[in-house]
């Protein structure tokens, strides 16, 4: 092997990261670095955590609609694979003249004009994200699932915090699971809050924490269940269900008692901290596989050990 070939063989692999709000981009960047990757980050303006810059080999910040700037950055760095992590506050997309406020470049106009100007295409999460992925693909930049590089973040099957689930709570979980899957199938949201097999709140554009708070307002006596699941058609490259310390804090403040999530397809950020908080505030955190829940989410079962 020549010295040039040896040098190529020892060059660290590159991974691009499109980062939104929250701790997830930081945790993912750290995981990639531990695996020997050079991380090249594009932080979405007004969303990405400032600390991300320190974890990246190279970093830039750009507006959500400046897709051309994102793509040029990755191409200059020779990045061919990228992933995404972190929340995009979709409610900002509904602000008046959003697309112009964020100064879209030509790639942004080309990609988002059918959604925000002509109205010929919808603004659902999956539609917008697939449009973005297609824009990158035109330049041979491929998106890959972040969880392939941080599988330890995915929830395992089992009772993770709190006491065993009661029969009444199990009925609410089964009921909520079916409804959450139906809502996800329509690309509405991933979470449903229920109490006594009655729907309190369905997550939409406002996000999980706001859904929890609304459930607390409507259920003054507390004790409700939140079910958060992946969509039936879940693309693991983006919009993977995620819970963290903010989720369980919202549950505690709003009177929620049970947080049921989908194992293997839900990310838990800072799991030890989440479990400790849940135990301290008597919140039951349990993860089921969709297979175990039955094809329609209606199969009752004993709480997993």
Q: What is the pLDDT of residue 5?
A: 52
Q: What is the mean pLDDT of residues 208-220?
A: 96
Class assignment of domain 8-148? alpha beta
For 139-159, what is each residue's pLDDT tens digit? Answer: 999 999 999 999 999 999 999
For the stretch 173-203, pLDDT in tens is 999 999 999 999 999 999 999 999 999 999 9
Residue 144: what are its φ and ψ, rounded to 5°?
Answer: -130, 155
pLDDT of residue 173: 97
C-alpha to C-alpha distance for 246 and 24, rounded to whole angstroms: 12
Q: What is the pLDDT averaged over residues 230-247?
A: 94
Query: Would the pLDDT of 8 be above 60?
Result: no
Chain-wide mean pLDDT for the chain? Answer: 90
Cα–Cα dist 11/124, whole Å: 40
- As a whole number of angstroms, the distance between CA 188 and CA 202 comes to 9
Tens digits of residue pLDDT in 108-143: 889 888 887 788 888 788 888 999 999 999 999 999
Using CA atoms, how far apart are residues 243 and 275, in angstroms rounded to an integer?
11
Q: What is the pLDDT of residue 20?
A: 94
Q: Under CATH, to which class is 154-288 assigned?
A: alpha beta
Segments making up each domain of the chain, as ranges: 8-148, 154-288
Q: What are 163-176's pLDDT values in tens digits? A: 999 999 999 999 99
């Amino acid at each position: 092997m020549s010295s040039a070939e040896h040098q190529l063989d020892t060059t660290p692999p590159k991974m691009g990261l499109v980062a939104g709000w929250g701790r997830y981009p930081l945790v993912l960047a750290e995981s990639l670095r531990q695996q020997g990757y050079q991380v090249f980050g594009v932080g979405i303006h007004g969303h990405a955590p400032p600390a991300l810059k320190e974890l990246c080999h190279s970093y830039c910040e750009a507006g959500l609609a400046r897709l051309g700037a994102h793509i040029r950055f990755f191409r200059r760095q020779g990045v061919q694979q990228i992933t995404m992590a972190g929340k995009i506050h979709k409610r900002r997309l509904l602000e008046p003249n959003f697309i112009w406020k964020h100064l879209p470049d030509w790639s942004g106009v080309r990609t988002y004009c059918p959604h925000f100007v002509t109205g010929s295409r919808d603004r659902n999460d999956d539609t917008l994200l697939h449009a973005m992925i297609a824009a990158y693909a035109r330049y041979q930049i491929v998106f890959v699932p972040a969880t392939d590089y941080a599988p330890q973040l995915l929830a395992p099957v089992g009772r993770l915090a709190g006491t065993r689930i009661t029969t009444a709570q199990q009925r609410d979980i089964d009921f909520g699971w079916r409804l959450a899957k139906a809502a996800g199938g329509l690309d509405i949201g991933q979470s449903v809050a229920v109490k006594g097999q009655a729907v309190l709140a369905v997550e939409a554009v406002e996000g999980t924490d706001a859904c929890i708070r609304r459930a607390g307002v409507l259920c003054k006596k507390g004790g409700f269940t939140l079910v958060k699941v992946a969509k039936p058609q879940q693309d693991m490259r983006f919009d993977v269900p995620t819970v963290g310390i903010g989720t369980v804090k919202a549950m505690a403040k709003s009177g929620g008692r049970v947080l049921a999530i989908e194992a293997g397809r839900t990310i838990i950020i800072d799991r030890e901290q989440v479990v400790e908080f849940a135990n301290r505030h008597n919140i039951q955190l349990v993860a089921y596989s969709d297979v175990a829940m039955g094809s329609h989410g209606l199969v009752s079962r004993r709480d997993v050990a």
